[in-house]
Structure 1
Amino acid sequence: MWSPGSDNDSSSNKDNESSIISIRRLGKSFETGSRRKTVCYQVLKDVDLEIRRGEFFILLGPSGCGKSTLLNLIAGFEKQTEGELLVHGRPIGRPEKERAMVFQHADASLFPWLNVRENIEFGLRMRGMKKKERAEISARYIELAGLKGHERKFPRELSGGMKQRVQIARVLANEPDILLMDEPLGALDAFTRRVMQEELVRIWGETKKTILFVTHDIQEAVLLGVRIGIMSIGPDSRVFEIMENGLDYPRDLTSREFNLIQKKLQGIFQDDLYFHL
């Protein structure tokens, strides 16, 4: 059993408690409609959030509440319309390699004409890294992601879970500080999803990366997260509550403590007050 921040090095503990992402009074709106009549739709409003270095943070909320929009803002794919968004104390201007996105559907992100090793090495090759160095890095992450023996397979020869392993390994090979994960396990069957949840916790424990993970699944949130940010229903969505999850890893879905946290979250979403936030 282990828990986050259990390293004996006090300086590491201090780093883990410091913020790597700072969000203050952030808002995002979109204009919709025709040329004659334009309507402004406010997706996010007054979002305040601090993400600690090295933590596994969950954004939890129903579909359409702006979770993916917030993730895209942090990735640099979109620009906020108001407020402040800082990474390492600097405003986000565009996508950078320090922030890497893992998408829900690996099929859309993997190159079908490249095998597993070539997909993992793609970003390294684009940066001009030498073949020997690329091979050393890809071998490390092939091992870490449980892909050994599958290096020469093409995406069409892999299961959904294996494709997601390739996507995660490729992201990690580029050494980002932050992994942004947009419901990356949502398209998998129940058994594969459970296996991948366990694998993701293992990989996070070994790499100490900061993970911001989007889901609408309460059980998944309790299983994975150090902290869980609960988002209100849109429009004008915000993170209205953050729940600390101090359960040790690996987590037992059948334990009393696990079910107490799960029931507390379920109660929030079933409360009439939630729909009037």
Structure 2
Amino acid sequence: MSRYPLISSGTIIESTPEESVQSPIISIRQLGKSFQSGAGKKAVRYQVLKDVDLSINKGEFFILLGPSGCGKSTLLNLIAGFEKQTEGELLVGGEVVDRPGKERAMVFQHPDASLFPWLNVRENIEFGLRMQGMRKGERKAISDRYIELAGLTGHERKFPRELSGGMKQRVQIARVLANEPDILLMDEPLGALDAFTRRVMQEELVRIWSETKKTIIFVTHDIQEAVLLGGRIGIMSIGPDSRVFEIMDNRLEYPRDLTSREFNLIQKKLQGIFQDDLYFHL
């Protein structure tokens, strides 16, 4: 049996390591990733990920949770096609991932690195559509939809320098959604925000996910955020040789109440895993 039980609405559920998700949109088997530092006799091989097994269903809100340096972002980059694994299999939609694809889109932690400062909100959101050669009227119809969805109505003509951090992140999310990807890969996208704005954006992200039904893989090291957002939470071991060693099933209904007994039970169970001596010897 699993060392750590799954959790559903405050109830502990036993599970086996062999338990899997049916019809996965993402399938990862025995995946490994290593890097070489130095050259010649001084070369050192560093194994970041090893024996990662993971299946993610279409429409899931899946969390990758673990401490800094455990390989969460590396795994996300492999799924995005930005990097190539050194071992194992990685399939998206049944196809081998060997490059970035339009069905996968990344939302980064710092929107300033991805937004074009010389374009206003609407122009940033329409950028990918314009690159595809889409007509102005069609672009506007799509950008109107995602401006409204992301809560940007009335800010269409503002430039990034005129927006708060939370508003910039809304623009980045709207631009990604406008290109209609199947999968959103989110690398600690709320980590740079202040506590109040982060809470608002967490609520907004759940709303956007519930309306679009996109598959989301969300990286965080924040336990409360993981419980607030995730349907399943993949817990990663500390590196090197990191892997997804346990998956917790969180079936609390949305929107989730941080003050509820059930929420705090799940949060405490996760905290207990990271405080357990066993975790440091995985």
Q: Distance in 2 between matches of 1:34 and 1:85?
A: 29
Indicate conservation of the 8 Å contact 1:17/1:53, yes or no. no
- After the TM superposition, list the runs of 4 or more consecutive aligned residues in structure 1 that deviate by more than 6 angstroms: none
2:206 match: secondary structure:
helix
Deviations 1:24-43 (A, max 9, x none): 00000000024441000000
Q: Distance in 1 between matches of 2:85 and 2:118?
A: 36
Q: Distance in 2 between matches of 1:156 and 1:35?
A: 47
Report the equivalent of 1:199. Answer: 204
Corresponding residue to 1:109 among 90, 111, 114: 114
Q: Distance in 1 between matches of 2:52 and 2:185?
A: 17
Equivalences for residues 83-98 of structure 1 within 5 A: 83-98=88-103
Corresponding residue to 1:251 among 241, 256, 260: 256
> Which amino acid letter does the alignment assign opposite residue 177 of structure 1?
D
Report the equivalent of 2:9. Answer: none
1:134: how far off?
0.3
Equivalences for residues 1-277 of structure 1 within 5 A: 18-277=23-282
> Which amino acid letter does the alignment assign opposite residue 87 of structure 1?
V
Report the equivalent of 2:17. Answer: none
Report the equivalent of 1:12. Answer: none
Q: Distance in 1 between matches of 2:232 and 2:157?
A: 38
Q: Distance in 2 between matches of 1:123 and 1:117?
A: 11
1:205 match: secondary structure:
helix
Q: Distance in 2 between matches of 1:26 and 1:34?
A: 25
2:90 match: secondary structure:
strand
1:132 match: secondary structure:
helix
RMSD of equivalent CA atoms: 1.1
**TM-score, normalising length: structure 2:** 0.92
Q: Distance in 2 between matches of 1:137 and 1:103?
A: 22
1:17: how far off?
5.0
% of aligned pairs identical?
87
**TM-score, normalising length: structure 1:** 0.94
1:18: how far off?
2.3
> Which amino acid letter does the alignment assign opposite residue 108 of structure 2?
F
- Can you give the 5+ residue segments of structure 2 that lack an aligned partner in the other structure? 1-20
- Can you give the 5+ residue segments of structure 1 that lack an aligned partner in the other structure? 1-15
Q: Distance in 2 between matches of 1:26 and 1:140?
A: 38
1:177: how far off?
0.1
Deviations 1:66-124 (A, max 9, x none): 00000000000000000000000110011011000000000000000000000000000
Q: Distance in 1 between matches of 2:216 and 2:54?
A: 14
> Which amino acid letter does the alignment assign opposite residue 102 of structure 1?
V
Give the paired residue count.
Answer: 263
1:85 match: secondary structure:
strand
1:96 match: secondary structure:
coil
